[in-house]
Structure 1
Amino acid sequence: MDTIEAIKSRRSVREFTDDDVSDEVIELIIDAGRWAPSGLNNQAWRFIIIRDPDIKEGISKLTHYGRIIKNAPVLIAVFLDNDQMYDYTKDVQSIGACIQNMLLAIHSLGLGGVWLGEILKNKEMVNKALGAPDSYALMAVIALGHPDEGNRVSERKDIYSLVFRERFGSGW
């Protein structure tokens, strides 16, 4: 799949079939994430893979999107390891790039995924439920699996409404 096509056709998927996702595919997804850029190449991201229904049930109670947490075959909790941090802002930006790489990999593999951020309001309780080290700061949970049937559309603002300074070339 062409990169631009993947970026434009990826959608957040919140409904999944019961089909399993193999460990090999999960490894490909995490591998895509680890190739994101990071300041000083510190790669301060860390991951916890969650498949256990009891753990999913527990953390589903910590977010408004508990239904998605419970129904996704796989969750990947994405953390910033504060012990490996270089610069907080740059490292958080790197985590965002890492998550986007993973979402694009999920899409390119014919799977569906969604970036869940609302769960961060209870990040300390999520960390405890997952047994995450104290140095790990939860950044997001990615829910993924085989997408259930559905028509997913998304709108974007007109590109010209997003450029505010020094318009370049014709049309800008």
Structure 2
Amino acid sequence: MDVFEAIKSRKSIRSYADKDVEEEKLQKVLEAGRLAPSAKNRQEWRFIVVRDRETRKKLAVAAMGQRSVEQAPVTLVGCAVGTDYYMPCGQLAYTVDVSIALSFMMLEATELGLGTCWLGAFHEDAVKEILNIPDAMRVVAVMPLGYPAESVGGTAKNSIMRIVSTGSYRKPLDEIVYREKY
């Protein structure tokens, strides 16, 4: 699978099979995050790998009841240690950097036949408490990882229903791309 194929086939998976993620595959996903670019190459991200079911159960509560956090055999939590650096463009670097790294990880997971879902709906203080994350750090995202239990294919009718139900519709390029000027 090439990168563009991974981009096209990646879906937000919210239901996971009862199958463990092999350590070799997990390491490849983590390596994809490690190799991602960051502002001034600061690499101030940290990734917490949670396999323990009881901890995932607590994280699911902190993630506003999202059952996929408990159901997936692995939950990754993307954090930032340096949260005060502003890029010259005025953006805080940590949210951008962790987001890029997690995106790389999502694409590698897709290539490996694994599913993920980017979760931004969580109570940060609760996640920090559950995982002993220092107060100075920020939690950017929670990401379940595992083998999809749900089909990502199907008939045209099923695909259309899935797109409508999951919000996967994408606007055409001519609505989002401008050339030379806005």
TM-score, normalising length: structure 2: 0.83
Quote the offset at 1:65 in angstroms.
Answer: 4.2
1:160 maps to 2:174? yes
Per the alignment, residue 129 of structure 1 pairs with: 130
For structure 2, which runs of at least 5 residues remain unmatched after alignment?
153-161
Q: Letter of the aligned partner of 1:103 in structure 2?
A: M
Tell me, in whole angstroms, the C-alpha distance in 2 between the residues paired with 1:22 and 1:86: 36
Per the alignment, residue 142 of structure 1 pairs with: 143
Q: What pairs with 1:33-72 in structure 2 (closer than 5 Å)?
A: 33-72=33-72
Number of residue-to-residue matches in the alignment: 165
Quote the offset at 1:82 in angstroms.
Answer: 2.4
Do 2:21 and 2:146's aligned partners in 1 also have CA atoms closer than 8 Å? yes
Quote the offset at 1:164 in angstroms.
Answer: 4.3
For structure 1, which runs of at least 5 residues remain unmatched after alignment?
168-172
**What is the aligned-residue RMSD (CA, Å)?**
2.0
Q: What pairs with 1:82-97 in structure 2 (closer than 5 Å)?
A: 82=82, 86-87=85-86, 89-97=92-100
Q: Letter of the aligned partner of 2:19 in structure 1?
A: D
Per the alignment, residue 107 of structure 2 pairs with: 104
Tell me, in whole angstroms, the C-alpha distance in 2 between the residues paired with 1:69 and 1:156: 26
- Residues 67-122 of structure 1, C-alpha deviations (whole Å, 9 max, x = no match): 11111110011001127x64362232111110110000100001111111111xx1
Per the alignment, residue 170 of structure 1 pairs with: none
Quote the offset at 1:64 in angstroms.
Answer: 2.9
Do 2:118 and 2:143's aligned partners in 1 also have CA atoms closer than 8 Å? yes
